[in-house]
Structure 1
Amino acid sequence: MRNSAFNLPNILTYLRILAVPLIVVCFFFEGPLQPSDFSRWLALGIFAFAGITDFFDGWLARRWQQTSEIGRMLDPIADKLVVSVVLLLLAAEGAIAGWSLWAAVIILCREILVSGLREYLATLEVSVPVSQLAKWKTAMQLVAIGFMIAGPAGDRIVPYITETGLVLLWVSALVTLYTGWDYYRSGLKHVIEDSNRQ
């Protein structure tokens, strides 16, 4: 158990979880939710590192045959922590406001609902595989949030970075909505079958 808990893929997952409070700290360097350009680039760097570990932990676990129960449990938790906390941080800062808040709400609700369904299906010993579109959904979310973290600091180098981030956030929210429905449609038949047996 100790060996599997501290193999390299799992260590990358732990680092991704550790990245969450570090990103938050970056937004409080110069005062509550008043990040300087340096703080934004530092937060973006940490966020990018977290995104890279998201790819490599699963890839290495499969390639080196180091999959583990703790890795399977923590990997989706780490993904949701990174996305959820940074979305809340950007909303508190005001980078995501008005109608764009709905995009963030869609993403957060989908993640919570799917997590609940996945936990229920686990009690039935049913596993619904992650689709390729769902993987692209995660990538789109990370790219959109990366643009939003850069925000005004990015705008000073390349115009419309913030606006591009908002557009990508809406695109990823729509894909998130579709993949959430697709996951529910796949899992719902198992829920109905279990209800009929009771």
Structure 2
Amino acid sequence: MKWNLPNILTLLRLIAAPMVAVMFLYFTRPYADWFALLLFVSAAVTDWFDGYLARAWKQETKLGAMLDPIADKAMVVIALMVIIGFSSWSPWLVLPATVILFREVFVSGLREFLGDVAGTLKVTALAKWKTTFQMTAIAVLFSHGVFEHYLGMSVFGMDEELIGAILSGAEEDVLGLGWKLTGMEWAGRIGLALLWIAAALTAITGLDYWFKALPHVREGR
């Protein structure tokens, strides 16, 4: 095993994946959302850096090639699991997340079946865009949780009439309910839109991988 810097960054990203879920076990919200968001964004940034450094320093290894897709999938799958678990289980969130989770499990199983042949099926540019949209969508959805819980903390103890008066401008918005509500709504909309785009790209790249693997699957029967 060659533990160069790119491989170490990839390993750290893999370790960070379950830590996203752990944040919600040991911290209350919205602090758990903040820590998960910062951890996820930091890990996503290393996804770009480890690949860039490996190519720039000519330190590409079999270990890195194996760990990199595993770390990416672990980050996405665990983060989506956490977001859905703490959400209202809206079908607008669950459906694209299901597409993403199904594709990742299906392709992982297909790669295991193909064995060494899987290494000959190159990653396409569209697959890289898929990962980018997945991680961006998840980061935005984590920020939605931050806005949502800061808003909940601000309105605690208020009745609906007072909240309505503040949001309508009849009462002074000392606690910033307006911008917290706006941030929550826009983060939710943008996050869901990005997640649906990610789901579409995920489905397309999954089908592309299947059609490329199909001749090898037929040979292995």
- Bin for the TM-score computed over the shorter chain: 0.7 to 0.9
Query: For residues 169-180 of structure 1, what are the structure 2 equivalents within 5 Å?
Result: 169-180=195-206
CA distance in 2, matches of 1:141, 1:131: 16
CA distance in 2, matches of 1:72, 1:152: 33
Instruction: Please tell me the root mean square deviation across aligned C-alpha atoms, in Å.
Output: 1.9
Structure 1 contact 8–57 (Cα < 8 Å) conserved = yes
Shift of 1:29: 3.8
Residue type of the partner of 1:178?
I
Structure 2 contact 6–59 (Cα < 8 Å) conserved = yes
- Higher relative contact order by CA 8 Å / sep ≥ 6: 1 or 2? 2
CA distance in 2, matches of 1:95, 1:80: 24
Query: For residues 112-151 of structure 1, what are the structure 2 equivalents within 5 Å?
Result: 112-124=105-117, 127-151=120-144
Aligned residues: 188
Correspondence for 1:7? 4
CA distance in 2, matches of 1:140, 1:164: 11
5+ residue gaps, structure 2: 149-179
Query: For residues 12-161 of structure 1, what are the structure 2 equivalents within 5 Å?
Result: 12-31=9-28, 35-36=29-30, 38-94=31-87, 97-124=90-117, 127-154=120-147, 156=180, 158=183, 159-161=185-187
Shift of 1:115: 1.1
5+ residue gaps, structure 1: none
Structure 2 contact 111–118 (Cα < 8 Å) conserved = no
1:26/1:183 Cα in 2 relative to 1: closer, same or farther (>3 Å)? Answer: same
CA distance in 1, matches of 2:25, 2:88: 15
Higher mean displacement: 66-75 or 104-113: 66-75
TM-score, length basis structure 1 = 0.87
